[in-house]
Amino acid sequence: MSEFAISKDGARIGYDQYGEGPAVILVGGAMQFRAFDSNTVEMAKLLAAKGFTVLNYDRRGRGESAEALSLTLKDNIDDLATLIEIAGGEAALFGSSSGGSISLAAAAAGLPVTKLALWETPLSDELGTGGAEFFAGLQERIASGDKAGTIEYYMKDMPPEWLAGAKSSPAWPIMLELGPSLSADAESLAWTQSAPRAELWSGITQPTVAIVGEQTVPIMPNAADSIVANLPNARKITIPAANHSWEPGVMAEALAEFLAEPPKN
């Protein structure tokens, strides 16, 4: 049964908590929430069985957190601050896709994050303008109320078969309702281009792992390399995975290994 946290602005955030041990919070990407993402639910349970407290939550604007009215990046960071407090005052973050840029922003904001695990965070060129332009374009489509156009715009730079597959799947009507919540995803990605990354991320000294799949699109390993180049305690690992997706057991094993590593002296 879901539990609920009350965020700084009074928004109700639905989450599940599994296991006991060091805490890790799972930060979903663009189209992810618990009822729509069985892979992450299964992975959360497998990771908990390896000795961790795992919080898997619906980001605001989705699932059981859908009633939140404000959907900014700051709101999402405030939600994480609330969940970290529930988890015991500190937690690692696993950011999936654009959940990785939200996780980076949370760590940069000074939240008590112990470690960062970032799965294929789709960062564009450092100091580029594409992120800000994309964010503005997305906001225009959200404001217009064009649900299909919003999702089509968000996915316009992804492999075209991904959008075609989404449109032909039973999940498409659910995806159409997620549009407003994508604003924070786009805002977080624009933020990663807003200043030199070494400067922007200067406060992020936590152990960090940038994870990529063996079969992926070129932006993903390039983004992981940028993360490693601009964080003092980061490394890249590759796991068996393809098409921006992973098997729950594979990801749980990779995360458990990283999270169990003792701090370096």
Q: What is the pLDDT of residues 9-25, one digit of tens each?
A: 999 999 999 999 999 99
| Residue range 175-187: mean pLDDT, rounded | 98
**What percentage of the chain carries pLDDT values higher than 90?**
98
Q: What is the pLDDT of residues 215-228, one digit of tens each?
A: 999 999 999 999 99
How far is 154 from 104, CA to CA, in rounded Å? 21
Does position 250 have pLDDT exceeding 80, yes or no? yes
The pLDDT assigned to 264 comes to: 76
How far is 96 from 102, CA to CA, in rounded Å? 9
Query: Which domains does the chain carry?
Result: 3-123+197-259 (3.40.50.1820)
φ and ψ of 6, to 5 deg: -105, 115
